[in-house]
Structure 1
């Protein structure tokens, strides 16, 4: 395990793959840690240098007291990449990780060569949605909202107790630190990236599961429309986390996009 103190907190991270190849940096979703990318990593680590990290308040990274701002997460990632001396990377962001990726590209264009934005948007949810989650998690814990989250994350065929992987990801969610979850809900509530994302001029791929209950295809299509030349793809048979339910198709689209952008 690897840890570093950046931006005032300790982050857990990992570096895999081929050292002298282009770098892909993975930013994961609310209520998860970087293990959600395992099946993707297995298929790409022979071709690229891969950087994974647990954002503030998630996985093995330190949790500060809520609320958080999206800029906290963005500065955390920028600090990690500066520590690793990573520049000109492809940032692969899922859900809030995709918002972190968009904001990083606007703040630190030197760090970003291209974007792969999965199941995310320029604005996600409403104040009422996020305030309700913050209240529930603060008063009753993350487990109190788990059933509804799982319905957004996974398709009905995957979301069965006899599926051991589903049970494992449920455990990942419910073991997320309440401060980290509630703090990141506040960051999502307050983040509005429409204009800064509209100004981006980097190669971009936008992906979404066809059964995503959190950021549905229509919303991700709106995101793609903001970025000149962005490519938009729908992944069949996936909910909010295509990297888990459809890793082969996810990797196929990533590879195709990287070839198209001449990142090989």
Structure 2
């Protein structure tokens, strides 16, 4: 399976982000990719939540989602839209959700995944994040078929919680998508290590499309969109800059690797530990 990864520098204007996405999908299709993966918050990167609120809408009205569906249909390509900030009609708290989409080559939404683990952290005296103050967390792990593969969905901070990826591979995932907008300090320290660990543990491909660079809202993201094979080898690292990268996935490697190291098959359920006093 030939895939494409979009490394983006999304800004505060969804119209401009939609324009860039349209071009990237067309380029991916022209390069014979079966599917394109885009980063977390493809449609809007804006930490000014008052300003962002003016650009966040429901699925039915989201121009970036509408663009992705239209371009997927036009190009005949799968689109794994890393995530969008959208209003959830069933959210009684009136919070947004950080939602990932899988869109088929006929433009239909095949799967939705709402980010489960929200990033609430202090990174230093001048930088903190409270994703949960504006976003509601999801509750369900999601897998979906893509051509001859099964795709497991996750988003950014989920990467630090291996239990989610155990659930995805238990449900049959052989490709794990990790769209992200990693900060520069945590990206340098942990990004590659965690992605390779998740691939090795799962015996699966990991595809991580990322945001990169200095954004209009003042934040900086790490980039280095990566594809890791089931043995933990890096097949693609896009480094710095923005654009499109291509990679071939040999899906036979999933079963080959799981036969050599049958960690998925050998997993055992166990009781919580007894605390000795």
TM-score (norm 1): 0.40
* Structure with greater strand share of residues: 2
The structure number with the bigger radius of gyration is 2
* Structure with greater helix share of residues: 1
